[in-house]
């Protein structure tokens, strides 16, 4: 087999700089994606030397990785910290994605008669982000009225976006140059397939992974009920919504109270909270040979164990690690049991409409560096 060539670089304010070690942590929740990278001082192009790092006020950074014919952007944001080691001859950068600008900017407008999506579009545009959002959002100013002034007076733009997302049963997070504001179940781009073949009289156990660990929380496997209650002082209406997912054993109940919700918001929030609680029932930790196409927008599909862990999972985090000629990806994923309560598990990854990333695409864990 011909080894695939590995290239890793950080594009610093438009100039590509080769990197020796790179870490990118991607997330499908509200916490920002982060990166760290090590660059050789004697390998930096003109204009990106130690003098540049000593005085630059802002250091925009994009992390790009190529493996053979596959590759692309892993991270887009800016550096928060620079360390220069003249004895070791390297520069170390670390930073966050473009949600940083939203986290550090205060929300000050009331946005009357604007939809939630219009507010998200405005804030994202100010941070240089595109938006991928559902179109079923209501009027932010009308829906939140009294509380909106409190939210915007005390919060960052990112907190305001998270507040709206929570009220509408959505998830808001940033991936590369895009802000996602939608139902998390609708953002997958196919599946990462992990296949295990147990030991047999004809051979040892094997699989297309480096490491695979699974777990199950028996408490979260019980019947779970979420109740959301709200009083809307504008309409003088009380709303009480309950969502339940069947399971085993004694019922677990979670009770939430929120002010000023509409009936639709209460129902969406109950569904979101139920998903958040029950998805922790089954978890999977997988380490795979490096592939820059893998992201939290995909699902994880485990097969071949011959157990109830053979199902699909929602990817929570992806950690891309490159060191020298080694590149691997660590995935943390979770879900409730497939078919639980007559619903539970999501549809199989083969039906998700995206391309599967399987063993043929992830067979090589070590690559020759460019120029080696």
3-state helix, strand, coil in the chain (%, to 5): 20, 45, 35
d(CA 351, CA 331): 21
% of residues, the chain, pLDDT over 90:
55
Least confident of 235-239, 242-246, 323-327: 235-239
Instruction: Flag whether pLDDT at 227 surpasses 90.
Output: yes
Question: What is the second-level CATH architecture of the domain 188-218+281-361?
Answer: Beta Barrel (2.40)
Q: pLDDT-based confidence at 36, cuts 50/70/90? A: very high
pLDDT of residue 358: 47
Cα dihedral 289, 293, 296, 299, rounded to 10, equals -80
What fold, for 101-184? Phage tail protein beta-alpha-beta fold (3.55.50)
pLDDT of residue 29: 85
Question: What is the second-level CATH architecture of the domain 6-95?
Answer: Roll (2.30)
- The separation between CA 280 and the C-alpha centre of its own chain, rounded to angstroms, equals 16
Q: At 309, phi and psi to the nearest 5?
A: -75, -10
CA-nearest of 306, 288, 286 to 197 is: 306
Q: pLDDT-based confidence at 186, cuts 50/70/90? A: low
Interacting residues of 58 by C-beta distance below 8 A, sequence separation 6+:
78
Interacting residues of 346 by C-beta distance below 8 A, sequence separation 6+:
185, 299, 312, 314, 335, 338
Least confident of 30-39, 105-114, 153-162, 341-350: 341-350
d(CA 196, CA 306): 9
């Amino acid at each position: 087999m011909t080894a695939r060539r590995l290239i890793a670089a950080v594009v610093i304010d438009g100039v590509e700089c080769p990197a020796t070690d790179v870490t990118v942590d991607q997330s499908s929740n509200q916490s920002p994606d982060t990166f760290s990278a090590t660059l050789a001082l004697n390998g930096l192009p003109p204009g990106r030397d130690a003098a540049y790092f000593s005085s630059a006020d802002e250091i925009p950074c994009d992390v790009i990785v190529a493996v053979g014919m596959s590759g692309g952007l892993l991270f887009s944001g800016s550096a928060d910290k620079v360390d220069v080691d003249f004895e070791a001859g390297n520069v170390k950068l670390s930073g966050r994605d473009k949600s940083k600008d939203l986290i550090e900017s205060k929300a000050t407008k009331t946005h009357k008669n604007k939809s939630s999506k219009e507010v998200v579009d405005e804030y994202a545009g100010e941070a240089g982000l595109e938006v991928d959002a559902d179109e079923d959002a209501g009027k932010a100013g009308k829906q939140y009225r009294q509380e909106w002034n409190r939210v915007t007076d005390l919060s960052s733009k990112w907190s305001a976006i998270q507040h709206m997302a929570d009220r509408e049963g959505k998830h808001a997070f940033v991936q590369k140059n895009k802000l996602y504001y939608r139902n998390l179940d609708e953002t997958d781009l196919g599946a990462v397939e992990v296949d295990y073949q147990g030991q047999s009289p004809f051979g040892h156990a094997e699989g297309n992974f480096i490491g695979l660990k699974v777990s199950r929380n028996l408490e979260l496997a019980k019947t779970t009920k979420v109740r959301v209650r709200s009083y809307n002082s504008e309409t003088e209406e009380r709303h009480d919504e309950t969502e339940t997912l069947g399971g085993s054993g004694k019922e677990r109940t979670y009770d939430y109270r929120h002010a000023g919700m509409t009936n639709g918001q209460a129902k969406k929030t109950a569904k979101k909270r139920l998903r958040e609680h029950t998805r922790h029932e089954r978890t999977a930790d997988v380490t795979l040979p490096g592939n820059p196409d893998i992201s939290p927008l995909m699902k994880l599909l485990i097969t071949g164990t011959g157990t109830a862990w053979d199902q699909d999972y929602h990817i929570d985090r992806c950690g891309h690690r490159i060191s020298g000629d080694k590149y691997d990806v660590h995935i943390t994923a979770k879900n409730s049991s497939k078919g639980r309560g007559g619903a539970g598990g999501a549809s199989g990854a083969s039906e998700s409409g995206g391309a599967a990333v399987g063993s043929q695409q992830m067979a090589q864990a070590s690559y020759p560096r460019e120029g080696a």
